[in-house]
Amino acid sequence: MIKIDDYIPIVGQSTIDEIRMLAAKMAGRRVQHINSTAVGGGVAEILNRMVPLLNELGINAGWDLIKGGQDFYSVTKKFHNALHGRPEAIDQRDFDIFMEVSRQNIAKLDTSSDIVFVHDPQPIALVEKKKENKWLWRCHIDVSSPNQKVWKFLLDFIVKYDSAVFSAPGFSQKLPIRQFLISPSIDPLSDKNKDLPQEVIDGVLNKYEIVRDKPIITQISRFDYLKDPLGVIEAYSQVKRYIDCQLILAGGTASDDPEGQKVLDEVLEKAGSDKDIHILLLPQNDIEVNALQRASDIIIQKSIKEGFGLTVAEALWKAKPVVASSVGGISLQIRHKYSGLLCHSIEGAAFAIKQLLHSPDYAKKLGANGREHIKNNFLLTRHIKEYILLFLSLYHPEDVVNL
Ligand code: UDP
């Protein structure tokens, strides 16, 4: 069990003292996180690490899941895509399915905690159950230019919350409730991010029959159009014409994402018989993700939209040179030519990968700067501190809390 004091060597004693001091003001209060999946995707990743630490700090934190079937998650996936600006045909039947399942969850879930902390659109309608307690809506996705039909539907619920939280300044919206900007984080001590012995890294490469005889370029992501895995293969093919290299596309599935198999099928077809493209369907295994990131020469994240992109932070924390799309929360993490290379197209991604493969010293410098940036801004301890300040602000609405 990782303890809050275990972070002292990384972030310093004063940071932990400050967190303890703030947490003491929330002692005994019940905070209930609610989302739609326990595994897969960034929200589950963060809650898995954060909830035990909040408890150790004396805050009575819990985590509940809403339930829904295939129909419901097909609708919420359409919402997700539409909020990210993808064209989706959404009709009244979709809204009806959403409301029907929401009503079932409203009936079943106990939401009597002092603070109910709802993540993303799937459970948003639970707020209909709000009593005298405090409710937060935490939006993890890039809603800088949302589909208006879906956004207006969500807005009827959002306005009932006490406050909303977004990941990046560009996502904030005109709302009659208070908004906070709090970016996500990674846990440097988790299996996903801790240092690994070389034998473990080699063992994972052996397991997947990957030989380190040529540079490895890797994207770790759910198989989702918005992660553009087909674009990654195209960029790799363009690089491969000039530099012999190999590509790892590794991803698992999330129980609230029904589109994964279709995307995976298209990826497999595009990869064809190229033996240097490794498509890995990962079991939920943080050590394997960690090892693959560490074994890579370059990490790519060619997302079309991205709320934050934990995979970018994970790679930078491992001091890896990263090539990533200049979208959403990625731009918070990578300053172009300082802590990685940003790209705007497949050709741009290919160009950046070639540049890094040709200039290992430059690549190393970008990785080192990236690690420092993550250390200063995107570790779990900063996130916990800002959440506790957010909780406290709910009880002092008249104060301006500068997060
Ligand atoms: N992830 C994983 N296994 C996979 C694919 C992704 O553990 O097969 C993790 C990844 O390391 C990261 C999270 O899931 O911690 C994905 O978060 P991100 O913000 O990058 O994207 P999201 O899936 O939330 O859109």
> Tokens 């918005």 — which residue?
226
Element (H, E) at 130: none
Q: Is the pLDDT of residue 281 over 70?
A: yes
pLDDT band of residue 399 (cuts 50, 70, 90) is: low
| Res 163: pLDDT | 97
Contact 45, 310 (CB under 8 A): yes
Q: Is the pLDDT of residue 73 over 50?
A: yes
Residue 220 and residue 231: Cα distance in Å, rounded?
A: 14
| Res 64: pLDDT | 98
| Res 258: pLDDT | 81
C-beta of 229 in contact with ligand 1 (< 6 A): no
Q: Which of 194, 289, 317, 330 to mutate for ligand 1's pocket (most ligand atoms within 8 Å of CB)? A: 289
Quote the ligand 1 centre to 310 CA distance (angstroms).
Answer: 7
4-185+379-402: CATH class: alpha beta
- Give whole-number Cα distances, 147 to 74, 154, 397, in Å: 17, 11, 31
Supply the DSSP symbol for 215.
-
Relative to beta strand 115-119, strand 60-65 is unpaired
Q: Which of 248, 310, 334 to mutate for ligand 1's pocket (most ligand atoms within 8 Å of CB)? A: 310
What is the value of pTM for the model shown?
A: 0.94
Q: With CA atoms as reference, report the closest residue to 4 among 21, 16, 15.
A: 16
Percent above pLDDT 70 for the chain: 98
C-beta of 45 in contact with ligand 1 (< 6 A): yes
Q: What is the rounded average pLDDT of the residues 115-139?
A: 98
Give the length of the chain.
Answer: 403
Q: Is the pLDDT of residue 402 over 50?
A: no
C-beta of 308 in contact with ligand 1 (< 6 A): yes
Residue 227 and residue 306: Cα distance in Å, rounded?
A: 8
pLDDT band of residue 284 (cuts 50, 70, 90) is: confident
Q: Is the pLDDT of residue 401 over 60?
A: no
C-beta of 252 in contact with ligand 1 (< 6 A): yes
C-beta of 215 in contact with ligand 1 (< 6 A): no
pLDDT band of residue 39 (cuts 50, 70, 90) is: confident
pLDDT band of residue 86 (cuts 50, 70, 90) is: confident
| Res 403: pLDDT | 45
In terms of Cβ atoms closer than 10 Å to its own Cβ (0-12, 13-18, 19+), residue 232 is buried
Q: Is the pLDDT of residue 400 over 60?
A: no
Quote the ligand 1 centre to 37 CA distance (angstroms).
Answer: 12
Residue 214 and residue 137: Cα distance in Å, rounded?
A: 46
Residue located nearest, by CA, to atom 6 of ligand 1: 221
Residue located nearest, by CA, to atom 11 of ligand 1: 311
Q: What is the rounded average pLDDT of the residues 29-47?
A: 93
Q: Is the pLDDT of residue 128 over 50?
A: yes
C-beta of 73 in contact with ligand 1 (< 6 A): no
Least confident of 98-107, 167-176, 295-304: 167-176
Q: Domain spans of the chain?
A: 4-185+379-402, 198-377
- CATH topology of 4-185+379-402 equal to that of 198-377? yes
Summarize pLDDT for 332-347 with one digit per residue, the tens: 999 999 999 999 999 9
Summarize pLDDT for 183-199 with one digit per residue, the tens: 999 999 999 999 999 99
Quote the ligand 1 centre to 187 CA distance (angstroms).
Answer: 13
Q: What is the rounded average pLDDT of the residues 394-403?
A: 64
Summarize pLDDT for 241-270 with one digit per residue, the tens: 999 999 999 998 677 788 899 999 999 999
C-beta of 36 in contact with ligand 1 (< 6 A): no
> Tokens 């034998």 — which residue?
199
Q: What is the rounded average pLDDT of the residues 354-365?
A: 98
C-beta of 220 in contact with ligand 1 (< 6 A): yes
C-beta of 41 in contact with ligand 1 (< 6 A): yes
pLDDT band of residue 398 (cuts 50, 70, 90) is: low
125 vs 254 pLDDT, higher one: 125
Summarize pLDDT for 198-248 with one digit per residue, the tens: 999 999 999 999 999 999 999 999 999 999 999 999 999 999 999 999 999
Instruction: Please report which residue ranges of 36-147 form alpha helices under DSSP H.
Output: 42-56, 70-83, 92-108
198-377: CATH class: alpha beta
Quote the ligand 1 centre to 45 CA distance (angstroms).
Answer: 7
Residue 392 and residue 214: Cα distance in Å, rounded?
A: 52
